[in-house]
Amino acid sequence: MKNHNDMYLDLLEKVLLGVIYEDPTMDHWSKGGFDPELRLKGLDWPSQAHTMIGFHRLRNIRDLLETIINEGIPGDLIETGAWRGGACIYMRAVLKVNGCMDRTVWVADSFEGLPKPEAEKYPADQGDQHHTYKELAISMESVQSNFDKYGLLDSQVKFLKGWFKDSLPTAPIERLALLRLDGDMYSSTMEAIELLYDKLSVGGFVIVDDYGVVPACRQAITDYRDQHGIIDPIVPIDGVGVYWRKSNTA
């Protein structure tokens, strides 16, 4: 029989994903309406729900955080690219039910959508259209309001507003246990991992949300790992997201 904490987190997943009230999609490729299979796999853009990453990638956050907590891996949690905040809301909830009061959830986003591609600097982003999707531009105030709706907006949640190249270098983050990358583009992925990976504790986890569906994102991860000799196995989550566990300080 499930305990109250598990029941709460199970219910929270359904609310964050919009499956309880069958929130319809608003993306440009689905057939419209609500498709539970697409929502399960995180393959559509919900109209109202607070995350688009699907059940498996949400549950991955929970599983990795419970490992971090149980094994005492030191550090905070961050997501670079938060949209409506659902994944970070879930992180805060997992900390809360586990009585963790010494970790911060960092919510890093431009809160203005994605940047225009800098093709000369990052050729892999040539022709990228993410910046044209206004649906991805969610204000910081809206994300804060979403946290508040769940009773999870408190001193353990910090917001980093701006392009990653501007906000992350001066962010007062000392150590991380979980680094979740959801920047879609080569530039956003590379900038975030370059600026944050050294702060990730040994035994901590990197999650890459769009690895399986955005070639430029995957290329950024491949390039960074090759440049730094990272050979920790990449573990698939759902055909879209992946993660690995940091085994050394390289």
Give the DSSP letter string of 41-100. HT-S-BSS-S--SHHHHHHHHHHHHHHHHHHT---EEEEE--TTSHHHHHHHHHHHHTT-
Per the listing, tokens 């499930």 go with 2
What's the whole-model pTM score?
A: 0.96
Residue 243 β-bridge partners: 207, 235
> What is the mean pLDDT of the segment spanning 97-102?
97
Count of CB atoms within 10 A of residue 41's CB? 17
User: What's the Rg (C-alpha) of the chain?
Assistant: 17
Question: Quick one: pLDDT band at residue 119, thresholds 50, 70, 90?
Answer: confident
Residue 58 in this model has a pLDDT that exceeds 70: yes
Please state the rounded mean pLDDT for residues 90-109.
98
Quickly count: other Cβ atoms within 10 Å of residue 56's Cβ: 16
CATH number of 61-245: 3.40.50.150
Return phi, psi of residue 233, to 5°.
Answer: -60, 135
137-184 pLDDT tens trace? 999 999 999 999 999 999 999 999 999 999 999 999 999 999 999 999
pLDDT tens digits, residue range 199-236? 999 999 999 999 999 999 999 999 999 999 999 999 99
Q: State the Cα–Cα distance between residues 222 and 199, nearest whole angstrom.
A: 19
Residue 250's pLDDT is: 56
